[in-house]
Amino acid sequence: MDNREMKKSFLSAQVDVSKFNAGNFEKATDDEKRQQDVMGESTTFFKDGMRRLRKNPLAMGSIVVLVAIILAIIIAPHFVPYSYDEVITVNGQRDKTMTNLDFMCYSDKELAYMEETGEDLFPHIFGTDGLGRDYFIRVIYGTRVSLAVGVVAALMVVLIGIIYGSVAGYFGGKVDLVMMRIVDIIYSLPDMLIIILLSVVLKEVLAGKLAGTVLSRLGTNMISMFIVFGLLYWVSMARLIRGQILTIKNNEYVLAAKCIGTPNRKILTKHILPNCLSVIIITTALQIPSAIFTESYLSFLGLGVSIPLSSLGSLANDARAGMQSYPARLVIPAVIICLIVLALNLLGDGLRDAFDTKLD
């Protein structure tokens, strides 16, 4: 045992044993060892994503802006005593000086009335428009319409896209081939042209049928826009979902589920779709601004909501005539559109950064 002897002499030369006592070299118990080896706190995918999202100032700012806008459009109509289609009257009398008021101003008659009765009238925050309607409440309603259109259209697109895309992606082969060629055909249709044509055709067809229902308030233009969204705009969503599913399908856990004997429908709903969820949420967040844009654009062209209902686009369109004298009326809806779209885009990006990471 030369080796051992050598080692012995090496060791004693280097180690100052006086530092230690026998207790140091007692065996550690399993419990003591285990304390050194703790598993991190349990987090779910969602919690983990939210933690990352909270650290993103742009995304959090966007959420604040969006929440503020949504609160405003919910609450404002309750305490503003005017309505979006009401030409303001004082004591039941029309007021010629009521039109085109500036921010926070009262008309002569209102001032006179207030002085006479001592009663405070609600101020016209954004002034009034050319017809003497309170502009603030019109902007609020316009935002409501634009946001609602955006959300509804986006949900519609997402729903159709998910169903179509997941079927094509999961079954693959010939099914996929045929379904994706249909998508290609739809992609090649000029969407604006179809919206314009449809709204012209549908106006006649729908006008009679819708009379008296809630939908008539929206106007045939809006309805045709929804139809076009439903018919055309889901294709990019469908493509995206299909692509996602093709990647997820190759994961071994899907193979494992097949091995177990899990039926196809369950594999799709239990394994594949939940794993697409982050992508779906992100694209929805990004889809809403594009729908809002389309709506605003169409309303600006005069193909949007029907009078007297307002949307941000139609407000901007109305303001076009007096652009030089009353630029604020164009700027306000334009800024709100920008805010909503920017906030949603930034939130979408933030969501992607937070949730669309590979788990490791």
Partner 1 sequence: MADSKYVLEVNDLHTSFFTDSGEVKAVNGINFKLEPGKTLGIVGESGSGKSVTAYSIMQILAQAGRITSGEVLYKGEDITKYSEKEMQKFRGSKCSIIFQDPMTSLNPVFTVGYQLEEAIMLHTNKNRAQARERAIELLKLVGVNDPEKRIHQYPHEHSGGMRQRDMIAMALACEPDILIADEPTTALDVTIQAQILELMQKLQKELGMAIIMVTHDLGVIASMCDEIMVMYGGRVCERGTADDIFYAPAHEYTKGLLRSIPRKENMNKKLVPIGGTPINLLNMPAGCAFCPRCDEAMKICLTEAPEEIRVGDTHLASCWMNIKEAFENSKEA
Partner 2 sequence: MSEEKYLLEVEHLKQYFPVKEGFRKVPLKAVDDISFAIKPGETLGLVGESGCGKTTVGRTLLRLYQPTAGRIVFDGEVLFDSEKKIDVDMHPFRKQMQMVFQDPYSSLDPRMTVEDIIGEPLDVHKLYSSKGERRDKILSLMETVGLNAEHAMRYAHEFSGGQRQRIGIARALAVDPKFIVCDEPVSALDVSIQAQVVNMFEEIQEKLGVAYLFIAHDLLVVHHISDRIAVMYLGHIMEIADADDLNNNPVHPYTLSLLSAVPIPDPETARNSKRIILEGDVPSPLKMPSGCPFRTRCKYATEQCAREMPPLTDRGDRHFVACWNK
Tokens of 254: 């899907």
Is residue 14 at the binding interface for partner 1, with CB under 8 A as the rule?
Answer: yes
Is residue 93 at the binding interface for partner 1, with CB under 8 A as the rule?
Answer: no
Shorter beta-carbon distance to partner 2: residue 91 or 357: 357
Minimum Å gap between C-beta 84 and partner 2 is 45
The stretch among 1-9, 222-230, 252-260, 351-359 that binds partner 1 (CB under 8 A) is 1-9
- Annotate 254-312 with DSSP letters as a single string: HHHHHHHT--HHHIIIIIIHHHHHHHHHHHHHHHHHHHHHHHHHHHHTT-SSPTTS--H
Count how many Cα atoms sit within 13 Å of the Cα of residue 297 in the half-sphere of its side chain. Answer: 12
Alpha-carbon span 292 to 282, nearest angstrom: 16
H/E element, 93: strand 93-94
Minimum Å gap between C-beta 66 and partner 2 is 27
Q: Which does 23 bind (CB under 5 to 8 A by kind): partner 2, partner 1, none?
A: partner 1
Is residue 259 at the binding interface for partner 1, with CB under 8 A as the rule?
Answer: no
Shorter beta-carbon distance to partner 1: residue 20 or 103: 20
Is residue 32 at the binding interface for partner 1, with CB under 8 A as the rule?
Answer: yes
Residue pair 347/59 in contact by the 8 Å Cβ criterion: yes
The stretch among 8-16, 69-77, 227-235, 253-261 that binds partner 1 (CB under 8 A) is 8-16
Binding mask 45-84 for partner 1 (x = CB under 8 A): -------x--x-----------------------------
Q: Which does 174 bind (CB under 5 to 8 A by kind): partner 2, partner 1, none?
A: none
- Name the 3-class secondary structure at 19: helix
The stretch among 31-39, 186-194, 299-307, 310-318 that binds partner 1 (CB under 8 A) is 31-39
**Do β-strands 89-90 and 93-94 pair in parallel, antiparallel, or remain unpaired?**
antiparallel
Closest CA to 308 of 154, 152, 132, 150: 132
Is residue 1 at the binding interface for partner 1, with CB under 8 A as the rule?
Answer: no
Alpha-carbon span 176 to 164, nearest angstrom: 10
Shorter beta-carbon distance to partner 2: residue 190 or 263: 263
Tokens of 120: 């405070």
Residues 6+ apart with CB under 8 A from 305: 145, 218, 219, 221, 222, 299, 311, 314
CA quadruple 187, 193, 196, 199: dihedral sign: negative
Shorter beta-carbon distance to partner 1: residue 242 or 352: 352
Beta-bridge mates of residue 90: 93
Closest CA to 161 of 180, 189, 185: 180
Minimum Å gap between C-beta 7 and partner 1 is 5
Interface contacts to partner 2, rule CB under 8 A: 39-40, 42-45, 251-253, 255-263, 266, 270-271, 274-275, 277, 359-360
Is residue 174 at the binding interface for partner 1, with CB under 8 A as the rule?
Answer: no
Shorter beta-carbon distance to partner 2: residue 47 or 217: 47
Minimum Å gap between C-beta 281 and partner 2 is 14
Is residue 15 at the binding interface for partner 1, with CB under 8 A as the rule?
Answer: yes
Residues that bind partner 1 (CB under 8 A): 3, 6-8, 10-12, 14-15, 17, 20, 22-28, 32-34, 36-38, 40, 52, 55
